[in-house]
Amino acid sequence: MKALSQALAKNPIFYVSRDVERAIGLTNNLPGYYIISNYSSFAKRCADHNQNIFLTKNKRILDSWELLENVAVKNFIKQHQTVKTRPRILVFKNTFQIEKICAQNNWILLNPPALLSGQIEEKISQAKWLGKLKKYFPPFKIQECAQIKFTGRPFILQFNRSHTGSGTILITGRKQLDLIKQKFPLRPAKTAQYIHGPLFTNNIAVWDGHLLSGNISYQITGLKPFTDNKFATIGNDWKLPAKILTSAQIKQYHKIVQAVGRRMIASGWRGLFGIDVVADARSGRLYLVEINARQPASASYESSLQSNKLNSSTNLPDKKSVWTKNDFCSIFQAHLAGLLKLRYNNCQIVKINSGAQIVRRITADRRKIKSKAIIQRRDLDLNIIKYDNNKPGADNLRIQTNEALMQLHNKFNQLGKQIINLLSDIK
């Protein structure tokens, strides 16, 4: 995308992120695109091939807001900003604290406002924000915990804020519900009908009032030995949706995307967001279950897969077509173009039909797995990202492949089983 490259060269962006993986959605060494993150073995590997990555070493891993207050980071931004322009900052997920820090330093924060993000993403305000579009949700109620009753059927309970499934609880009995009611009697919660079936997600960018929809991926959720949380999001498989979704379901999925996307545009949203959708195993009907008002975690790797395909030119319609590579873009490029308010130029999102990633999270026993044994299996052709986290539920390893990992819903294929066997062998 020539327009994006020109805009960055003229006035750079500084993507500040706790994890470098969130920011590596563009070609290495692209002039004007700087990444600032914590030092780690994987980040060092990235920096060895990209002179625009700045890493800072500290006694512990710093969050994005802490990186923005770091003296070395401030000096790096000052040294690389364009003369007579205010530095432009980008983060993975905006917060009020980050907005305050950027204002204090006279930096331009490109992310949509934290207030809008919270209104869209948080469970209680989300229902009001959606208005008539709440019809796409499974049947639900919002009430204080003390008022919730168990009628004999399992249901989903969600508090206002949650992340990667951490705030989602499947209520299966009265005793379980009573414990929550005793602990949080006055806390509002959303209760919804439990829909049993596979989850799907995709990354969507708002660019100059246009909606650019990325590729649908199957959302790998709650499978052992990668997590001990049944609702934890642990990965994506971009090949499986074409195998298990009918053409009618795909059409229904895009109808939900368009409806939510138009509401996002009307609210002034720019850049990336994502939706999660569940397919009812009995009826086949699709239900909206989540709106991620931020850059979804899968956007970086989807963009990497798209860049690989774009560079091979296999995505072009045909050899006789007048289309060129400039007519296509990755979802991350669309994200930046939208945030920079560039004029939409009819660029199309690159389609992919394979590729997957899966995250091994730190389990409740705090057991961590080293990546060395997996990396040594060169025959599996995997990209391994190791995280220096310690809390249960945090990322331990991210494993990426150009192939698929899933055979069916909740069922790994041969490659997925090989990875599981490797993890099981590591003590």
81, 103: one domain? yes
**Strand extents, DSSP E, 159-247:** 168-171, 188-193, 199-207, 210-213, 217-221, 233-237
278, 297: one domain? yes
Q: Is the dihedral of CA 144, 146, 150, 156 positive or negative?
A: positive
Per-residue pLDDT band at 366 (split at 50, 70, 90):
low
Asked whether the predicted pLDDT for residue 63 surpasses 80, the reply is yes
Distance separating alpha carbons of residues 386 and 398, to the nearest angstrom:
7
Distance separating alpha carbons of residues 10 and 82, to the nearest angstrom:
8
The predicted model gives 44-67 an average pLDDT of: 95
181, 79: one domain? no
Cα end-to-end distance, the chain, whole Å: 46
Which domain does 184 fall in, by range? 139-193
User: Read out DSSP for 102-142?
Assistant: HHHTTPEE-SPPHHHHHHHHSHHHHHHHHGGGGGGSPSEEE
104, 207: one domain? no
User: Can you state the percent helix, strand and coil of the chain, rounding each to 5?
Assistant: 35, 25, 40
The secondary element (H helix, E strand) that includes residue 305 is: helix 299-312
Asked whether the predicted pLDDT for residue 320 surpasses 50, the reply is no
CATH number at residue 55: 3.40.50
Distance separating alpha carbons of residues 66 and 45, to the nearest angstrom:
23
Per-residue pLDDT band at 392 (split at 50, 70, 90):
confident
pLDDT (tens digit per residue) in 253-270: 999 999 999 999 999 999
Asked whether the predicted pLDDT for residue 124 surpasses 70, the reply is yes
Name the residue with higher pLDDT: 386 or 96: 96
At 85 the pLDDT is: 83
At 371 the pLDDT is: 61
Asked whether the predicted pLDDT for residue 409 surpasses 90, the reply is yes
- The pTM score is 0.91
Per-residue pLDDT band at 241 (split at 50, 70, 90):
very high
Per-residue pLDDT band at 315 (split at 50, 70, 90):
very low
Select from 399, 412, 397, 405 the least CA-distant residue to 363.
397
333, 319: one domain? yes
Name the residue with higher pLDDT: 151 or 367: 151
Structural domain count of the chain: 3
At 422 the pLDDT is: 83
